[in-house]
């Protein structure tokens, strides 16, 4: 009898506990409750960046009342991929997630992403494979299969300050020179020298492949060739790196990475202390906060002969977890997120450039004057080299080695030897 009462009590407790957990209203991640699917997705970004997704989320959930989006964000890009990696290995990763262009190769080769080419070409797709520019698939495409869709892009261009150029006695407009086919590396370096002579910095670069490899391209050099890193041995590439190293040391160029926060790259550019600032469409946000918008415009990186050449395009990819609990809902979200309508909704007012064809009007909103340059660079540009992004940590290691040279901690020749050694060591 006592045993029976105890059993009943246990059953009652269990039922009560279950009822309590049910009354919390929160279905387990990814589980369906009342036919509603909770779709987990993740990205990186500050609180302000994350707010940009609110409009899309509201719109999406209104159109798909059976799908509830749950965003799990990480504020710092550097911390995002380690967390995602840990989640993937422990099978707790979100259904859909962003992957940076420096990590996509690793995730593709690890087989943790759902191949998307069939889904993208299928009847439920709002974003077909051919809607995206080939060059920006980068490491997300392997052996004809698509593992990630570029959610948006940021083509690297040179913002120039008309006022600073004028103060340095430079009458020519870089955008006009580009239009006339005269925007050469020689011309650009000459402008930098004149800016320096006028007491200003020539150019400010962030220490990343977008800037460094664009300058190498501008010298006609090669970074990767036949699966081998040749930037330290290719004559033109080495000359480009040497020019950069010399420029950093004599302050013709400034590395944004090491500028103090109170006198950051944006501040220097807004104060007309520099002629050029290499960046993407995100620079608009800084200029809007404190600059005279009309003082600034954009031009692609110069080429050896003035003819247009491919520029670097920063990209990130949206991918679906191979173990996604709600694969169908995950694809619905992904395809709408990267679709023309989705990008138009997300990218209004600045930040990034659409990765999909047909959403160009979001960029051509009147600012900057040569905003079409963003689209030209995107359409012909390249994401980081697949050989490089396939090796986790390689891009960061290259940047680390180069920063030592830029800051003068290591002499140029030794820096190149160490850079090659690092790359060889990591690529095997």
Partner 1 sequence: MAAIAKAPARPARAGRGVRTRDGWWAGLFLAPQVAFLLVFLVVPLGYAVYLSLVQWDGFGPKTFVGLGNFTAQLTDADFLRAVWNTAKLALITVPVGLVLAVLIAAGLAGIKGSGFYRVLYFMPVVTSSVAVALIWQVILADDDNGVLNSTLRRLGLDGPDWLGDPGWVIVAIAIVTIWSSLGLNVVIFLAGLQTIPPQIVEAARIDGASSARIFRSITLPMLSPTIFFSTVVAVISSFQAFDQIYVLVNPAHNEGARTIVYQVYKLGFKDFQFGMSSAAALILLVLTLLVTLVQFAAQKRFVHYDS
Residues that bind partner 1 (CB under 8 A): 78, 81-82, 85-86, 88-89, 106, 109-112, 257-258, 260-263, 392-393, 396, 400, 403, 409, 426
User: Is the Cβ of residue 72 or residue 257 nearer to partner 1 in the bound state?
Assistant: 257
User: Is the Cβ of residue 81 or residue 200 nearer to partner 1 in the bound state?
Assistant: 81
CB 320 within 8 A of CB 116: yes
Closest approach of partner 1 to the CB of residue 90, in Å: 11
Q: How many CA atoms lie within 13 A of 283 on its CB side?
A: 34
Round to whole Å and give the CA distance between 403 and 228.
21
Residue 245: strand, helix, or coil: helix
Round to whole Å and give the CA distance between 421 and 343.
41
The DSSP code sequence of 274-300 is EEEEEE-TTHHHHHHHHS-GGGEEEEP
User: Is the Cβ of residue 193 or residue 403 nearer to partner 1 in the bound state?
Assistant: 403
Count of all residues that appear for the chain in the document: 428
Closest approach of partner 1 to the CB of residue 399, in Å: 9
Closest approach of partner 1 to the CB of residue 409, in Å: 8
User: Is the Cβ of residue 14 or residue 110 nearer to partner 1 in the bound state?
Assistant: 110
Closest approach of partner 1 to the CB of residue 380, in Å: 32
Among 380, 350, 309, 392, smallest CA distance to 101 is for: 392
Cα pseudo-dihedral 415, 420, 422, 428, rounded to 10: -170
Closest approach of partner 1 to the CB of residue 257, in Å: 6
User: Is the Cβ of residue 57 or residue 109 nearer to partner 1 in the bound state?
Assistant: 109
Round to whole Å and give the CA distance between 413 and 281.
35
Round to whole Å and give the CA distance between 292 and 417.
44
Closest approach of partner 1 to the CB of residue 111, in Å: 7
Closest approach of partner 1 to the CB of residue 199, in Å: 21
Round to whole Å and give the CA distance between 353 and 283.
12
Closest approach of partner 1 to the CB of residue 273, in Å: 15
User: Is the Cβ of residue 34 or residue 261 nearer to partner 1 in the bound state?
Assistant: 261
User: Is the Cβ of residue 140 or residue 347 nearer to partner 1 in the bound state?
Assistant: 140
Residue 151: strand, helix, or coil: strand
Among 345, 361, 363, 338, smallest CA distance to 353 is for: 363
User: Is the Cβ of residue 45 or residue 311 nearer to partner 1 in the bound state?
Assistant: 45
User: Is the Cβ of residue 30 or residue 105 nearer to partner 1 in the bound state?
Assistant: 105
Closest approach of partner 1 to the CB of residue 337, in Å: 26
Rounded to the nearest 5 degrees, what angle is found at the Cα of 259, between the Cα atoms of 156 and 301? 20
CB 178 within 8 A of CB 297: no
Please name the helix (run of DSSP H) or strand (run of DSSP E) that holds residue 42, with its range, or none.
strand 36-44
Closest approach of partner 1 to the CB of residue 248, in Å: 15
Cis peptide before 78 (omega within 30 of 0): no
User: Is the Cβ of residue 23 or residue 262 nearer to partner 1 in the bound state?
Assistant: 262
Neighbours of 369 (CB within 10 A): 15
């Amino acid at each position: 009898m006592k045993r029976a009462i105890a059993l009943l009590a246990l059953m009652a407790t269990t039922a009560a506990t279950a009822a309590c957990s049910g009354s919390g209203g929160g279905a387990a991640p990814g589980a369906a409750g009342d036919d509603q699917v909770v779709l987990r997705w993740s990205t990186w970004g500050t609180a302000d960046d994350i707010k940009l997704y609110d409009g899309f989320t509201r719109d999406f959930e209104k159109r798909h009342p059976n799908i509830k989006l749950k965003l799990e964000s990480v504020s710092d890009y550097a911390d995002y991929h380690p967390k995602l990696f840990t989640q993937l290995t422990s099978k707790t990763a979100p259904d859909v997630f962003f992957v940076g262009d420096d990590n996509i190769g690793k995730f593709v080769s690890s087989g943790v992403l759902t191949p998307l080419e069939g889904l993208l070409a299928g009847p439920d797709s709002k974003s077909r494979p051919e809607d995206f520019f080939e060059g920006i698939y980068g490491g997300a495409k392997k052996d004809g299969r698509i593992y990630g869709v570029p959610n948006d892009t940021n083509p690297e261009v040179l913002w120039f300050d008309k006022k600073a150029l004028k103060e340095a006695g430079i009458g020519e407009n870089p955008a006009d020179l580009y239009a006339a086919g005269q925007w050469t590396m020689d011309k650009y370096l000459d402008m930098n020298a004149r800016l320096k002579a006028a007491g200003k910095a020539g150019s400010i670069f962030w220490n990343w492949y977008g800037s460094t490899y664009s300058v190498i391209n501008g010298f006609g050099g090669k970074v990767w060739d036949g699966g081998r890193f040749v930037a330290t041995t290719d004559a033109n590439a080495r000359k480009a790196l040497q020019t950069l190293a010399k420029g950093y040391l004599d302050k013709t160029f400034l590395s944004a990475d090491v500028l103090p926060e109170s006198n950051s790259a944006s501040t220097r550019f807004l104060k007309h202390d520099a002629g050029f600032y290499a960046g993407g469409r995100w620079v608009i946000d800084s200029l809007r906060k404190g600059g005279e918008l009309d003082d600034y415009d954009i031009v692609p990186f110069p080429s050896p002969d003035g003819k247009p050449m491919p520029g670097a395009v920063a990209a990130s990819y949206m991918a679906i977890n191979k173990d996604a609990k709600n694969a169908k809902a995950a694809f619905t979200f992904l395809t709408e997120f990267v679709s023309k309508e989705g990008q138009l909704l997300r990218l209004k007012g600045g930040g990034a450039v659409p990765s999909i064809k047909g959403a160009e009007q979001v960029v051509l909103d009147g600012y900057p004057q040569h905003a079409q340059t963003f689209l030209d660079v995107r359409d012909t540009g390249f994401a980081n080299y697949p050989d490089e992004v396939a090796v986790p940590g390689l891009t960061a290691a290259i940047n680390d080695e180069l920063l030592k040279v830029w800051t003068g901690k290591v002499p140029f020749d030794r820096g190149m030897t160490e850079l090659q050694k690092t790359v060889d060591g990591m690529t095997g």
